[in-house]
Each structure stands twice: as structure tokens, then as C-alpha cells.
Amino acid sequence: MDLGGMAATSAKAAFMAADSALVIAETSLAVARMTINTSARTLNLGTPPMGAPLDLMGRVAQLMNEDRALGHALRPGGQLDRLLQPEGIADKLVAPNGPIERILANDGPIQRILEDDGLIERLLAPGGIVDRLTLPGGPLERLMREDGALDRLTAPGGVLDRALQPGGVVDRLLAPGGPVERLMAPGGVVDRILEEGGILETLLAEEGAISRLVAVGGPLDQLVSVSSAVASITPNLDQLGRSVDRLQETTVRLGHTVAPITEVAARLPRRWRRGRTRSSLDAGELEATVDLDGEMLEG
């Protein structure tokens, strides 16, 4: 009989038992410490801790009361029931070739947004829209500051409050037979805009109105060219206006110069004026012309 082996086995068993006892003791101490800490927090606060299961259940029960938004949504016949009813909104969203399938399809909106040089990459690029929005003193900071646009929008009695109150703008928009219902009705404005061959397709089609408008050499390019031409003509128009002003001043001075000459000619003896020379005729014609120009300018 191997007495040494038996002794070694017994010793190993004793050590294992002692180790297990130590583990149990350590676990007991940890549980006791946790219990003491929880009791201390309860005594200090006078209320159960926020993470306690009973407190959490109580808060959930309060949220599900009939007079709360979540309880109203979860009641029989509420928003959740209508959302999940057969042939309801959820069924239409996940139907074959429905909105979600089209959004997640290859070459769909999501893939175009996430592709290289797509919308997300352009938004997050250095100096892009997100950078400009989040700059210190930028639009987002001005929007979120105290007494900013968002505060005024959500203040009691503000725009949002008035829009959402009973009988407000939102109620009138969503009322039976209201504007939104008329827009979304079968054969309504939205259907006519989105139908095959409709307004939107005509505008966005190849060689459509928008393509022709923004084409190279199209109306938009021509408008820009005309604007550039008008801008280049403006200095010349200013110079022309100054030239016209100087011409008018010169004409007035010439009229003042011719008038004394005419008076002198009238005082000459009649026999001298009987044979009118070409120079006197020219002077008379010039006087008439100057008088006529003066009347036109004064008019």
C-alpha cells in the first residue's frame, strides 16, 4: 500500500477544502459589504436608490398610466395597435418592394449616402457643413444659446406651444378633410406630382426642364453672361452720363454767347442787314438751334 500517495492526496483535499472555504468567506464578506452600503444610501437619501428594481418598476408603471403619453400609445386601439394592425403602417413599410426595401436596396439612398465621396463624407469633411455649423459662435451655438431661437421656439406660449395646442395649426392641418388629407388623398396633389410622367418626373428627367436650365450654355449660363456684360457696361454708362452733363453745360454756355451777338446784329443799320451774309444767317440759325435745345433740355 502506498501510504505516501494517500497522505499526499489527503493533504491536497484538505488544501482544496480550505481554499473553497476562503472563497465562500470572501463572497460572504462582499455580499455583506454591498448590503451595508445599500442600507447606508437608503438611510441617507430616505428613498430607494434609482437603480433599485422596485423603484424602476414603479417609474415604468407611472409612465404607463392612461394619462401619460406612453400609456395612451399602448392602450388597446392606441397608436401602437394601429401601427401594428394587419395592412397597417408597419406592414406597408416592410412589404416586398416597400419603402424600407427600396431604401436599403443596392444603389438605394442609404448606399448612396454612405459611399465614398457621398453625403456623409461631404458633411464630415474638414471645413464641411458640420465644421461650419459647430464653429465657436457659429449657427448651432447661436441656436442653442440662452434666449436663442430654440429657447424662444420651445418656450411656454411660444411658436411650438401655439402650434401644438388644441385647435392650433397642427390640429387644423391634420383635421379630417384638412390640407394634409387633401394633399395626400388618392389622386391628390402629391399623387399627381409623383405619378409616372408627372411634374416631378418631367422636371428631373434627362433633357427635362432642370437639365435644360443648368446645361452648359443654357438659360442660367446666359443669364450669368448677361449679368457680367451689364456689370462691365456700368462704368461706361457712368462715363456717358458725365459726358451728357458736360454737353448740356456747353450748350447753355454757347447759347449765352450767341445771344449778345444777336443783339448787336439787331442794332446794326438796316441797310447793313439788307444783304445778309452767310455768317449772319449761320448766327441766326445757331441762335434758333440753341433756343430749341434749351427748351428741350428744360422740358
Residue bearing the bigger pLDDT, 57 or 41 = 57
Give the per-residue pLDDT at 1.
43
Q: Taking each helix axis from N to C terminus, what angle separates 219-267 and 278-298, rounded to the nearest 10 degrees?
A: 130
Amino acid at 200: L
Instruction: Calculate the average pLDDT of the chain.
Output: 73
Q: What is the dihedral sign for C-alpha 136, 138, 139, 142? A: positive
Q: What is this structure's pTM?
A: 0.33
DSSP assignment of 118-142 equals SHHHHHHSTTSHHHHHTSTTSHHHH
Work out the pLDDT band at 273, boundaries 50, 70, 90: low
Cβ-contact 76, 70 below 8 angstroms: no
Q: Domain-by-domain residue ranges, the chain? A: 106-157, 235-298
Q: What is the pLDDT of residue 17?
A: 58
Q: How far apart are CA 25 and CA 19, in angstroms?
A: 10
* pLDDT in the model for residue 89: 79
For 211-259, give the DSSP string: HHHHSTTSHHHHHHHHHHHHHHHHHHHHHHHHHHHHHHHHHHHHHHHHH
